[in-house]
Every structure is written in structure tokens, then in C-alpha cells.
Chains A and B, each alone.
Chain A
Amino acid sequence: MDAFQETLVEELGNKTAFTIPLLGGIPVAESVVVSWIVMAVLVILALALTSRLSVRNPGKIQVALESGVQFFNGFLKENLGPHWRPFVPWLGTVALYIALSNIIGIFGLTPPTKDISVTAALALMSMLLIYGAQFRYNGPLGGLKKFAEPMPLLIPINLMEVAVRPLALCMRLFGNILGAFIIMEMLKFVVPAVVPAVFSLYFDLFDGLIQTVVFVFLTTLFTGEGIKEEDSPN
């Protein structure tokens, strides 16, 4: 039992892959290295899949790719209103990054989203996006006025949300992935073969994709709240 405890505690911590010998040593966490792998895979896939796009004769892969992008476009159009277009690349990048990070446990790597610093960075960027968009599309004054909606009484709560929203995003993603990771580690310790593979389908694949959708959906929803015009039909 002691060995089990030890392994678990060791697995829970964030390992440092290596340290850059600059400014007194900058630690590079394992999650950052795995992130680079995730990025490399995404970039290579993107390059390979979009190298021969055809307007007139799309292949099967291109059709699938286009339907995916179109689905995402439609989702953002519905939730962000008329200014949806500039948000597609960022939110799409975040979605792909989180999705591949979450399910990379299947391939034996540690999911970067298990590191709270990574989810904190993601949530920080979401916060910048949400409130940046609110001020970008409403002007400085209109952006401030948005905090008094739907009624001035809610100003304190709306202001608290500036911190609460990213914190919730960060913790939700981190907690889910960490929880799944812990369960999978325990399972692997108790039953090393076959059974973890079955559970991995749920905890790594399903939960990982659900958490991706939740993160991107909430970020989109919050951004939409800040930039949607109330009386606009879109």
C-alpha cells in the first residue's frame, strides 16, 4: 500500500523536464514539453490535411475538415453574433489544443491540462478574450456599461465574475483531467492489463472531449454576452 501511495503522490506532482540555465535557471515543466508535442502534431496534421485543398473537387478528408470548420463557424455565429469571424482561429486553436492535450493520455503521455499552470494560462487567455472583446466592440464606455447589465444592481457580481470566470474555467478543466488521471493511475496500479484500456475510453477520450467542449463553449458564451447586441436578431 505504501508503494501505491508513493507512486500516486509522485504522479500527482508536476515534473520538471529540464531547466534552461538562464536568469538563475528557468524550469521547463513536463507539461510544456508535452504541449510542444501536441503543437507539433497539430501543425503537422494541419499542414498535411490542408496542403491540397480544392474548391471544385474536395476529397473525403477535405469534406470532413470543411464540415468540422463549418460546424465550428456556425457554433460561433450563433453564440457570438455578427462579429464571430475574428474569433474562429483563436477558439478553434484552443479547442484543438485542449482536446489533444486531454486525450494524449491514451498514448502514454501525461496530459498537459493536468498541470494547473497550463489551465491557468488557458483561463487567463479566455479572460483577456472575453473582456478584450467586450471593450473592443462596445468602446471604452460601452464596455464599462456592459458591467451594469442586465441591471446596475448586479455591478458587484459582474465585476467579481472577471476573476471568477477564469478561475472556474481553470479549476474545472484542471480538476476533471486530474481526477481522471488519478483514477486511471490507480486502475493501472491495481489491474495493469485490459481493464485500464476500457476505462481509458471513458476517462481519457470521452471526459477529455467533454471538458474541451465545456471550456470552449463557456468561453464563447461569456464572450458572446459581452459583445452581442440585445436587440439584434443575430
Chain B
Amino acid sequence: MLDFQASTIVFTVINLVVLYLILKKVLFGRVNAVLEARAALVKQEIDSAEASSRQAEAYKSEYEARLTDARHEAAKLVADAQNRAQRAYEAKLADAEADVKKVRSEAEAQIAAERDAMLRGARNEVASLALLAASKVAQASLDRDGDRALVDAFLSEVGEQA
């Protein structure tokens, strides 16, 4: 019962060492390798997730900056367009006013010229009529002093009016 058997001790030591060598390679080596690989994988996944989140953050801020820029740009464009439209409107208005003035002055000048021409024509007509009337009167009785004075007075009066 309590007999130590040298051969059994030696065999058991050999058995244990052999089993150790096999299990070290097959069981513990493989399982621990997988555990380490998984730990490395998890670490790598976390790292990459953090990296992509950082990148997303960067993209977001860049996008926001661009959006703000674009808004400014759009506002500027609208303001420019309004300015330009205002200027164009004012220029057109000024042109139109100038045109109106020009047309009116031309019309006034024409009216004045026509009135002058008409007046001149009328005066000539009146003068010739007066001369005719006067010559008729003179044919009849221009021998008297009084008649002559009348004709003169008439003529001067007409001349004053023309």
C-alpha cells in the first residue's frame, strides 16, 4: 500500500512531462493564442472605431464650416444682385426721365417754332391785307390829309402788334 515504486515514479514523471509538452502545444498554446488574438482584435477594432469617429468629427466640423461659408456666399450673391438691380433700375429711371425731358423740350421747341412761323405768316397776311385795304382806300380817296393820317396810324398799330 505504502510502497514507493521507483519505476512507477519515473514512468509518472515521464508521463507528466509528455502530457505537458502535448497539452502545452495543443490545448493551452492554441487557446491562449486565440484569446490573445481576440484581445488584439478587440483593441484594433476599438482603435479603428475611435479613429473613424475622430475622422467623422473632423468631417462634420469641416462640413459645418463649408456650410457657413456657403451661406455667407449666398447672402453676398443675393445682396450683390439686389444692388445691381437697384442700380440698373435707377439708371433706367434716369434715362427715362432724360428722354422725357428731351422729348418735351423738343416738342416745346417745335411748338414755339410753329407758333412763330404761324405768327409770322399771320402778320404777313395781315400786313398784306392791310396794304390791300389801304391801297383800296387810297384809290378811293387818298387825297385828303385826314385819310393819310388814318392809314399811317393803322399801319403803325398793326406793326406794333405783329
Which residues of A pack against B, CB within 8 Å?
A: 12-14, 26-29, 31-32, 35-36, 39, 42-43, 46-47, 49-50, 53-56, 58, 62, 65-66, 69-70, 73, 88-90, 92-94, 96-97, 112, 115-118, 120-122, 124-125, 178
Contacts and interface: CB of A to CB of B under 8 A. Distances in A.
Q: Which of A14, A32, A47 has the most CB of B within 10 A?
A: A32
A117 B19 CA distance: 18
A12 B1 contact: yes
Given A43-B19, A55-B38, A97-B16, A120 B9 contact: yes
Chain B binding surface, main DSSP class: helix
Contacts of A14: 1, 3, 5, 8
B32 A55 contact: no
Contacts of B27: 46, 49-50, 69, 89, 92
Contact of B41 (A50, A56, A89): A56
Contact of B20 (A26, A35, A93): A93
18 contacts: A27-B5, A32-B15, A35-B12, A35-B15, A36-B15, A39-B18, A39-B19, A42-B19, A50-B26, A53-B34, A55-B37, A55-B38, A66-B31, A69-B35, A115-B5, A116-B1, A116-B3, A118-B9
Given A55-B41, A69-B32, A29 B20 contact: no
Interface residues of B, number: 33
Contact of A29 (B2, B8, B31, B32): B8
B28 A88 contact: yes
Contacts, number: 123
Nearest to B5: A117
A128 B8 CA distance: 18
Contacts of A69: 27-28, 31-32, 35
Contacts of A35: 11-12, 15
A46 B13 CA distance: 20
A73 B34 CA distance: 14
B80 to A, nearest CB: 59
A50 B31 contact: yes
Contacts of B5: 14, 27, 29, 115, 117
Contacts of B16: 93-94, 97, 121-122, 125
Contacts of A50: 26-27, 30-31
B9 A53 contact: no
B34 A66 contact: yes
A93 B24 contact: yes
Contacts of A96: 23
A43 B3 contact: no
A54 B20 CA distance: 24
Given A29-B5, A56-B41, A42 B30 contact: no
B26 A117 contact: no
A94 B43 CA distance: 33
A154 to B, nearest CB: 30
A136 B28 CA distance: 22
A14 B7 CA distance: 13
Nearest to A50: B30
B19 A97 contact: yes
B29 interface: yes
